[in-house]
Structure 1
Amino acid sequence: MQPDTCVVVPTIREYECVREYVANAREHGHADRLFFCLVTEDFCDTERMREMLADLDVAGRVFDASDRADWYREQDVDEYDHVIPAASHAETSFGLLYLWANEQFDYGFFIDDDTLPHDTDFFGGHYTNLDRSGEVTAVRSDENWVNVLFENFEEHGLYPRGYPYAAMDETVEIGTTTLAAGDVVASQGLWTNVPDLDAVRILMDGDLRGQAATRTTRADFDEDFVAEPGQYLTVCSMNLAFRREVVPAFYQLPMDDNEWDVGRFDDIWSGVFLKRAADLLGDQILTGTPLCEHNKAPRSTFDDLNNEVPALELNEHVWKVVDEVGDGADSYREAFAAMADALADGEFDEWNNGGFLNFVGEHMRDWLDCLAALDAPRATPATARADDD
């Protein structure tokens, strides 16, 4: 059976988590569907990673910086290598390029290396979500933002990383909507143990080691839900599945490796752009299960704060910029192009580091050009097991 799912794992640390995900997939009958794309760096033990995939007998490849450079040349897209930032979590975008270049992949998964699956059918849960039909909970607020941790908010009071400060203290309205098969283009699983918070909220929670004093459990999550059209939500890439068709609108953005020193908003802003595109096309992002266990390693909260501060003001506004464009788009590529133009050509001098939004917009245009260059059938089919090609 040829894999139809590209599982992207950015890792410079605990790549052994892949063993648990493979065991879960094998237990529930999904292992043959999966191709693991490990995105790492030259300074990491890539040989051990390859040995792990071989030992697990799963299809996959390991790409450090040198491997990625070789791949760009092989695909004749090395002029676009700048769209993937160096030594950044946003290198998950390379996994998107690899998925796009190999037409066998109908689905993609993002999994962070500091997570583990629960004792449920992890991959099957996401596949089921992507095929979900029927009635589902629909959430909105008077601030046009949905807190993905709203279900037990009165107990924990948490807002996730990337949720705008101006949108707090919102009034939440909960209803229902009916999904048709194919409406769900992305399935966002949430997390137990360490919640995904920004540095300011972690400091307010009393933790200096980048984690959180307040933890989440399964009891904090009840029903899967969608944010209504016109409503935004944070999208975290640590536990996420998506359909191939959204890749043009799901670029993870040029974080960390930029003159403004902006980081930590790659999946947040890409999620904003994906939600806008999905709304324009009448599609949905389903959030909730399957859960993962987030075992974030201790690190200085102030290091994260330094990465987040340069774009904190921009985060309050970027969603409003893209909310005004894209009407009439009939594809994810067209919707994303409209957002790219709005950012690349906009005037944002009134905001701190506003020029970064122009930089992002220009890279979004290059992302679309790179995908167009990959549309030619020049990629090697991804059937190799454990880099034996």
Structure 2
Amino acid sequence: MQQPLTPGGDAERPIMSTPAVPKPHSREEVSGDARSVAVVIPMPNDPPWELFDEIPSDVAIIVSDDSNGNLAMPTRDNVYIYDYAAQEAYAGPHYEAMPHRSAASRNIGHYIAYREGFDVIVALDYDCGTRPGWLESHLTAIDKVVDAPAVRPLLDDGWVNSIDTPGFYSRGYPYEFRAEDRSAVETITATGEVKLNMGVWDGILDLNGVDKLQGGEPGDPMLASPINRIALGNIPVCGMNTAFNAEITPAYYFLPDLWINGWQLSRHDDIWGGYVVKKLMDVRGDLFAYGNPVVAHTKQTALERVVVLEQWMHLMSMGFYGLIDEAVDEILPGSYADMFSHLVEELERGISRSTLPSHYLWTYGELVTWMGRWARAFQ
């Protein structure tokens, strides 16, 4: 186990100004796939490390320590733990772009993996259990495809549902699009290069809390295809089990929690950040796949709390998406860093002329400020 030892810990910890960092290496001898891989896991507290037994030992695990130094030593090697001091030592002036105390704390891990030159980054939640073939499934999906099965909404601004269980929708699927005529999709094919693969989950599905309170928990996403499908349109991008080419990292930013008039905006981090990166992938013509690998999701936060945390997300999503859509209309294909930076500029202009409620605009403005910090980290 390799762990950066940083100021702010107990007295036995030596002070290090430069944290230890993982180094990419070809995995061709191990797996036949030469791409280097880093797995990033945000941890607010200690997980059962056996959840990660199927992560190959030669693959580095980068832990964003959201307990700030209170995690126990991991039970495996090749783990790099970054508490807040270590994050600041690594990121320097760009530490201000790294949120804490939410799932968005994983951004620092993605930033480190990108800066160190890894080819593929895998985002995994600390309560998700890996299964045999988990990593190989992700890597197989991130590749060029020809006539791959694809799902396209019939509406131009429609959505793809990553859960095939009838009557259930993945977290973040807008209520505005759940009527039969507005949720309709067609099955076609797609050719291109997959840059992001979203695996799904079983056991505890990633649904809106209010949906679980009303309709229960099916426990099985009932994937309709053993082959991963391409989402041609909007899709709720859950960040619990995704793998992506490192090149998209500058545009894949998990948004921080905010407090709005004493009420917390939360659980939007991956959904709204995923909406942004998917739109910019569309500009480039890069593809988004979903389906396998399926992880075992093992933890359910109290639904009463989840409902409270998600309330602002439900209210504010469509306004946010509208601003993103208007901004993306002005963006030409380019590097992901350049497109994201341009997006921030267009969002600032869009907010300044929007007639949405003032507290909505304050919230969007705060988020764009964070996005600007992330954009500058890649300039």
**Same fold, judged at TM 0.5 (above):** yes
Residues 116, 293 of structure 1: 8 Å contact kept: yes
Gaps of 5+ in 2: 1-23, 27-35
Q: CA deviation at 1:164?
A: 1.2
Does structure 2 conserve the Cα–Cα contact (< 8 Å) formed by 1:162 and 1:234?
A: yes
Asked whether 1:110 is paired with 2:123, we answer yes
Q: What pairs with 1:171-210 in structure 2 (closer than 5 Å)? A: 171-180=183-192, 183-205=193-215
Note the C-alpha offset of 1:106.
0.8
Q: Which amino acid aligns with 2:270?
A: D
Contact 2:267 2:313 in 1 (8 A): no
1:329 aligns to 2:333 (yes or no) = yes
Q: Distance in 2 between matches of 1:283 and 1:232?
A: 14
Asked if structure 2 preserves the Cα contact closer than 8 Å seen for 1:97 and 1:371, the reply is no
Task: Confirm whether residue 133 of structure 1 aligns to residue 145 of structure 2.
Answer: yes
Q: Deviations over 1:22-45 (max 9, x none)?
A: x3244xxxx32x110011234564
TM-score by length of 1: 0.80
Partner of residue 108, structure 2: 94
What is the Cα deviation at residue 353 of structure 1?
2.6
1:13 aligns with 2:32: no
Cα 1:20–1:309 shift into 2, 3 Å: closer
Tell me the equivalent position of 2:175: 165
Counterpart of 1:350? 356
For 1:331 and 1:367, the matched residues in 2 are separated by 15
What is the root-mean-square deviation in Å for CA atoms of aligned residues?
2.3
Contact 1:39/1:94, CA 8 A, preserved across alignment: yes
Aligned residue in 2 for 1:2: 25
Q: Is the 8 A contact 1:151 1:220 kept in 2?
A: yes
One of 357, 375, 378 as aligned partner of 1:371? 378
Which fold has the larger relative contact order, with Cα–Cα distance below 8 Å and residues 6 or more apart in sequence?
1
Q: Deviations over 1:309-351 (max 9, x none)?
A: 2232221232222223243231212221232123333144524
Does 1:83 pair with 2:97? yes
Contact kept? 1:194, 1:294, Cα under 8 Å = yes
1:262 to 262, 265, 268: 265
The superposition leaves residues 196-252 of structure 1 with CA deviations (integer Å, 9 ceiling, x where unpaired) of: 0122212222xxxxxx43221556664421122xx2100111110000110010011
Answer yes or no: is 1:227 the counterpart of 2:218: no
C-alpha distance after superposition, 1:342-377 (max 9, x if no partner):
3333144524532111111122111111122xxxxx
After alignment, is 250-259 or 231-240 more displaced? 250-259
The Cα shift of 1:117 comes to 1.9
Check the 8 A contact 1:151/1:221 in 2, yes or no: no
In structure 2, C-alpha distance between the alignment counterparts of 1:225 and 1:278, rounded to whole Å:
16
Deviation at 1:185, TM superposition (A): 0.5
1:339 equivalent to 2:365? Answer no
Letter in 1 for 2:275: V
In 2, distance between residues paired with 1:68 and 1:224? 35
Matches within 5 A, 1:212-223: 212-216=216-220, 222-223=226-227
CA distance in 2, matches of 1:279, 1:217: 26
- State the alpha-carbon separation in 2 of the partners of residues 369 and 258 from structure 1: 26
Residues 88-113 of structure 1: per-residue CA shift (max 9 Å, x gap): 1101101111112212x011001111
> Could you say which residue in structure 2 is the equivalent of 1:386?
none
2:150 touches 2:187 (CA, 8 Å); kept in 1? yes
Matched position secondary structure for 2:265: coil
Q: 1:339 to 1:242 in 2, by over 3 A?
A: same
Aligned residue number for residue 298 of structure 2: 295
Distance 1:364 1:117 in 2: 31
Question: TM-score normalised to the size of structure 2?
Answer: 0.82
> Amino acid of the residue matched to residue 89 of structure 1?
A
Instruction: Tell me the amino acid that sits aligned with residue 110 of structure 1.
Output: A
From the superposition, tell whether residues 332 and 43 of structure 1 become closer, same or farther in structure 2 (CA, over 3 Å): closer
Which of 63, 66, 69 is residue 85 of structure 2 equivalent to?
Answer: 66
Change (3 A) 1:47 1:25: closer
| 1:42 to 1:295, Cα distance in 2 relative to 1, 3 A | closer
